[in-house]
Amino acid sequence: MAEPEEQRRVRVLRAYRAVLASRARSQASHRASFRMDLVGAVLVGLIEFTEIWVLYSATDQIGGFTLAQIMLVFGLSDLAFSLADLVAGHCDNLPVYVRAGTLDVFFLRPQPLLAQLMTSDLSLRRIGRCLVGATSLTVGLVLNDIDWSVGTVGLLLLALVCGFVIFTAQFVTAAGLQFFLINGSEMTNAFVYGGRYAATQPAVVWPRALLVVFGVIFPVAFAAYLPVSTLLDMPGPLGLPTWLGWCAPVAALWAVTVAGLCWRWGLRHYRGAGG
Amino acid sequence: MRQLPSPSRNPYWRFLVAGFRGQSAYPLATLAGLVANATFGLLKGGIMGAAVESSGGELAGYSAATMAAFVWLGQGMLGSVNFWGGSDLQTRIKSGDVAVDFLRPVSVQAANVLTDVGKGLFALLPRGLPSVVIGVLVSSMALPPDAAAYGLGLLSLLIGITVSHATVYAVATSGFWLVETRGISVLYMAVSGFFAGLFTPIYLFPDWLLTLALLTPFPSMMQFPIDVISGQVTGAGAAQHLGVQLVWLAVVLAVGHLTTRAGRRRLEVQGG
Amino acid sequence: MNVIKAEGLTRVFTGRPDRKNRLRRSRHVAVDHLDLSVEAGESVGYIGANGAGKSTTIKMLVGILVPTSGAVTTVGLHPLKQRRALARRIGVVFGQRSQLWWDLPVRESFSILSAIHGLSAADERTRTAELVDMLEMGEFLATPVRQLSLGQRMRAEVTAALLHRPELLILDEPTIGLDVLSKQRLREFLVTQRREHGTTLLLTTHDMGDVERLCDRILVVDHGRLAFDGTLDGLARTVGARRELVVDLATATGDLVDLDGAEHVRSESDGLRQRLAFDPQRTTAARVLAAVSERAEVLDLSITEPDIEDVVREIYRATRR
């Protein structure tokens, strides 16, 4: 007997909400350690900002960006990454899920596996990181001379959403690849955390090889650097047009496609069909 | 005349070797670490190189070549020092297994620190050397000017690795008194790399921050060895670096020794 | 209706490259052209030595593993293409991997699973209450799963697999590590469950007691092939699944040979302890004991059940000939 689609969706949402609410409750119940993690996350974020501050204070500008300008790039990318980390950061623990048999259990439940993996945890302590990014972004917006309009606001929102999607996709890509790299999962750190680091920098300073890696394959340049360049009306790298920042949705779509393929490929390998 | 025991009968030597050998079991993990390490190195090299360039080719005493050396030597050391703050001791205190360690007729501190130093030294082969080779290939990084610099540099490196693990050990002994030490690890993780010169040379810091950094053992773990190996400091300067490193080594070892003794007494009183 | 139907089911694992010879990969046939059909309402014990292919078969039945060749349907569905539909209709208990949320109270896990399986709130209440009552879980419903004893956890796992009233319940080593009482309680529950709801059972086990009390059909797998398919009686006839009566006697006695219906296995301590094997299909322990008592005074006795490993070994020996 077919269940109405609407009703089915409500039930599934209820299931996810139940899991996530329980995760949140269980984290909040270990209050002392939760607070410590929260403070720790803020601290790590602050230190990372301090590095940028030290570097850009020691010199006038790097790659055409002043401290005030780079605060926009840092803030936007760090906020997007932290939000993605909140939602999908546990995905790159896939080998742990495999070893503990949690993944096999996911197969026994009537929800899509990726949805189960993503909703299996929610690290609220990572909220701390969002604060640092949001603050840097806000200060950057105040310090810079920005020509406010519907377009600027739209560009910022678009960049934030696309950045979030791009980084989430990196986590899923990492999870898919880790089916093959159970002992070598650190390899995916290169583009997940390396990507985060890269996204806080002006792409013009990257070595050529990395322009392809982080501009195209794992398109984190579209998470903050390119939209901010558009926002500040600065020319893109390699003589690329200023409006390139508006292409963030294309990059996000590409990242999602790559993530979907990697995840399916990894899953096929796990089930023994592809390998 | 008393015969010297062969090194293989010396437990501390065995700890060092065990740590060294334990790391060789996962070649894929090593390769993975190298890929991540090299990616970060390229990114760091890019931004630091651009910073030097925009300052007219000289920034806080660094040229393009010495800055590249700073970046790649730092990447090479990353697998050998501990900037994340967790350790075996921490887990063993938490699980209570440390009580068993105290029953052995060897120093718990020496056993832990030596095993970790062994691991750190091993990491120099698959992670340290390749990082430096990549650095030489992709950049014009400065290399030690003469044999003396190599010798002093390696010595400074060895002390640096030891300071790092001895400090992490001392920090972990706080677990004898605290129920939850994760917060301490997080704090350590946030601060240690920053003050050690993992991201930017500490000489880029404003004066007050530099002074603060020099009051901690962290520069002895990475910044000073890099200075000595890359020839950024030579002669008396290098000797001074080594002297400071040795002082910090003595300090953190002494602290670790005292906290271990006190922690042991506390375990005995509370019945483990 | 066939609840499980497998035809020519085969699974080959290609291992990692050899350490010495990088070009050669080890090849291991875990399941080898297995034909299998299980009818609705049956209770099937799936036994075999470690590595005989039991877990691999189950993983293919539930859609975790892709068969190398052959076909399988579970409750009429294709386990890979229709995994999600299948998950709504079967329940699985892996003895070694938990369905439950480690750091949450048991009750919470049941509630989440009910939502996952789309039970209505009212249905969730009645079904949970029913299972909690039958498995006597009231006292630890508020306890986090990580604090449960193994027996308690296993009851919770079984509940987790049954909340959505599956037609087929697959149990992988459900009684492993449990004490006698917990085993007993779980078996009784499964028997009731099957009687009242007509649930089909498929279980792998190392415990002959599970097989004897729960299963009316037994499949023995050997190197990925079916070595035996039949009833417990049939199994006993094939391998002579005998029990052993161990008697401690008051005085040293000569070997108790020529007893009616029992065979002397060996004596220990100059005949103070003797082991006698008998076939429970032909005689009873009481009759054997009576026969022994005619010859010597019995101080103590125990009956050992045949080890499933022995039964399996016997089957293997019989079929490989």
Structure confidence by residue, pLDDT tens digits, B89-140: 998 888 888 888 888 888 999 999 999 999 899 889 888 999 999 999 998 8
Show which subunits contact C, needing at least 3 CB pairs below 8 angstroms: A
Collapse the DSSP code of A249 into the 3-class scheme (helix H, G, I; strand E, B; otherwise coil) and give the result.
Answer: helix
Cα C220 → chain centroid = 11
Q: Contact A272/C80, CB-based, under 8 Å?
A: no
CA distance A199 to A229: 13
Cross-strand pairs, C247: C274, C301
Report the number of secondary-structure helices (H) and strands (E) in chain B: 13, 0
Q: For residue C21, is pLDDT > 60? A: no
pLDDT of residue A9: 67
* Nearest residue to C6 via CA among C161, C179, C237, C226: C226
How big is the CA angle at A98 (ends A92 and A102), to the nearest 5 degrees? 100
How big is the CA angle at A102 (ends A100 and A105), to the nearest 5 degrees? 135
CA distance A264 to A270: 10
Identify the weakest region by mean pLDDT among A100-109, B249-258, C97-106.
C97-106
The arithmetic mean of pLDDT across residues A6-11, rounded, is: 68
CA distance B224 to B218: 9
Show which subunits contact A, needing at least 3 CB pairs below 8 angstroms: B, C
Q: Contact B32/A57, CB-based, under 8 Å?
A: no
Q: For residue C20, is pLDDT > 80? A: no
Host domain of residue A200 = 5-271
Total domains present in chain A? 1
CA distance B232 to chain A (A): 19
Identify the weakest region by mean pLDDT among A56-70, A221-235, C16-30.
C16-30
Each domain of chain C, given as residue ranges in start order, spans 2-237, 242-305
Distances (CA, A) of B142 to A67, B46, B66, B73, C281: 29, 16, 5, 10, 87
pLDDT of residue C59: 92
Q: Is B68 left (phi over 0), alpha (psi -120 to 50) or beta?
A: alpha
Q: Which tokens is B183 given?
A: 């917060």
* A8 in C contact zone (CB under 8 Å): yes
CA distance A147 to A230: 12
For C111, name the nearest residue in chain A, comparing CA atoms only.
A18
pLDDT of residue A101: 86
Collapse the DSSP code of B83 into the 3-class scheme (helix H, G, I; strand E, B; otherwise coil) and give the result.
Answer: coil
pLDDT of residue C271: 83
Q: For residue B271, is pLDDT > 60? A: no
Contact criterion met (CB below 8 Å) for B189 and A44:
yes
* C29 in A contact zone (CB under 8 Å): no
Collapse the DSSP code of A144 into the 3-class scheme (helix H, G, I; strand E, B; otherwise coil) and give the result.
Answer: coil
Compute the radius of gyration of chain A from its Cα atoms: 20
Q: Do chains A and B touch (3 or more CB pairs under 8 A)?
A: yes
**Percent of chain C surpassing pLDDT 70:** 94
Q: For residue B148, is pLDDT > 60? A: yes
Q: Contact C59/A104, CB-based, under 8 Å?
A: yes
Show which subunits contact B, needing at least 3 CB pairs below 8 angstroms: A
Contact criterion met (CB below 8 Å) for C142 and C136:
no
Judge if C2-237 and C242-305 fold alike in CATH terms.
no
Collapse the DSSP code of C8 into the 3-class scheme (helix H, G, I; strand E, B; otherwise coil) and give the result.
Answer: strand
Q: Do chains C and A touch (3 or more CB pairs under 8 A)?
A: yes
Interface of A with B (CB under 8 A): 32-33, 36-37, 39-41, 43-44, 46-47, 50-51, 54-55, 57-63, 181, 183-187, 189-191, 193-194, 197-198, 201-202, 204-207, 209-210, 213
Residue found under tokens 């390229």: B42
* Nearest residue to A111 via CA among A12, A22, A14, A19: A12
Burial label, C111 (beta-carbon count in 10 A; 0-12, 13-18, 19+): buried
Distances (CA, A) of B20 to B106, B118, B124, C251: 19, 4, 10, 63
Nearest CB partner across the interface for C64, out of A3, A11, A271 = A271
H helix runs in C44-100, sequence order: 54-62, 83-89
Collapse the DSSP code of B80 into the 3-class scheme (helix H, G, I; strand E, B; otherwise coil) and give the result.
Answer: coil
Q: Which tokens is B50 given?
A: 């651009």
Distances (CA, A) of A236 to A144, A162, A164, B230: 18, 18, 22, 35
Contact criterion met (CB below 8 Å) for B227 and B210:
no
- Residues ≥6 apart with Cβ < 8 Å to A262: A172, A173, A175, A176, A177
Q: Contact B43/A210, CB-based, under 8 Å?
A: yes
Q: How confident is the model at residue C25 (pLDDT cuts 50, 70, 90)?
A: low
Q: What strand order describes the sheet that includes C273-278?
A: C262-268, C273-278, C243-249, C298-304
Could you tell me what percentage of chain C is helix, strand and coil, using 3-state DSSP and rounding each to the nearest 5?
Answer: 35, 30, 30
CA distance C86 to C93: 15
Nearest CB partner across the interface for A55, out of B39, B45, B51 = B51
pLDDT of residue A275: 39
What b/e sequence results for A166-181 when a residue is b if at least 16 CB atoms lie within 10 Å of its CB, and e otherwise? bbbbbbbbbbbbbbbb
What does the pLDDT look like over B162-208, one tens digit per residue? 999 999 999 999 999 887 787 788 889 889 999 999 999 999 999 99
The arithmetic mean of pLDDT across residues A123-133, rounded, is: 86
pLDDT of residue A24: 75
How big is the CA angle at C152 (ends C149 and C156), to the nearest 5 degrees? 135
* A33 in C contact zone (CB under 8 Å): no
Q: Can you spell out the DSSP letters for C93-137? A: EETTB--S-TTSBHHHHHHHHHHHTT--HHHHHHHHHHHHHHTT-
Q: Contact A18/C118, CB-based, under 8 Å?
A: no
Residues of chain A neighbouring C101 (CB-CB closer than 8 A)? 19, 22, 26
Half-sphere exposure of A156 (CA within 13 A, CB side): 18
Q: How confident is the model at residue A47 (pLDDT cuts 50, 70, 90)?
A: very high
Contact criterion met (CB below 8 Å) for A101 and A240:
no
C17's enclosing H/E stretch is: strand C2-17
Q: Do the strands C200-204 and C273-278 form a parallel or antiparallel pair, or are they unpaired?
A: unpaired
For A16, name the nearest residue in chain C, comparing CA atoms only.
C116
CA distance C172 to chain A (A): 13
Q: For residue B149, is pLDDT > 80? A: yes
pLDDT of residue C239: 67
Half-sphere exposure of C47 (CA within 13 A, CB side): 30
* C14 in A contact zone (CB under 8 Å): yes
CA distance B167 to B81: 10
CA distance C237 to chain A (A): 37
Identify the weakest region by mean pLDDT among A149-163, C68-82, C272-286.
C272-286
Contact criterion met (CB below 8 Å) for C144 and C105:
yes
The dihedral through the CA atoms of A85, A91, A97, A103 has a sign that is: positive
Q: Contact C66/A107, CB-based, under 8 Å?
A: no
Q: Contact A37/B209, CB-based, under 8 Å?
A: no
What does the pLDDT look like over A177-217, one tens digit per residue? 999 887 788 899 999 999 999 999 999 999 988 999 999 99
* C16 in A contact zone (CB under 8 Å): no
Residue found under tokens 């052959």: C70
Contact criterion met (CB below 8 Å) for A205 and B50:
yes
Identify the CATH class of C2-237.
Answer: alpha beta
pLDDT of residue B268: 77
Q: How confident is the model at residue B143 (pLDDT cuts 50, 70, 90)?
A: confident
Q: Which tokens is A7 given?
A: 């009703």
Q: For residue C87, is pLDDT > 90? A: yes
For A8, name the nearest residue in chain C, comparing CA atoms only.
C118
C39's enclosing H/E stretch is: strand C25-39
Helix axes B27-54, B129-138, angle to 10 degrees: 40
CA distance C179 to A99: 27
Q: Contact A110/C85, CB-based, under 8 Å?
A: yes
CATH architecture of C242-305: 2-Layer Sandwich (3.30)
- Residues ≥6 apart with Cβ < 8 Å to B72: B41, B45, B131, B132, B134, B135, B136, B139, B141
List all residues of chain A from 79 to 118 with a beta carbon under 8 Å from chain C: 100-102, 104-105, 107-112
Identify the weakest region by mean pLDDT among A47-61, C111-125, C164-178.
C111-125
List all residues of chain A from 210 to 269 with a beta carbon under 8 Å from chain C: 268
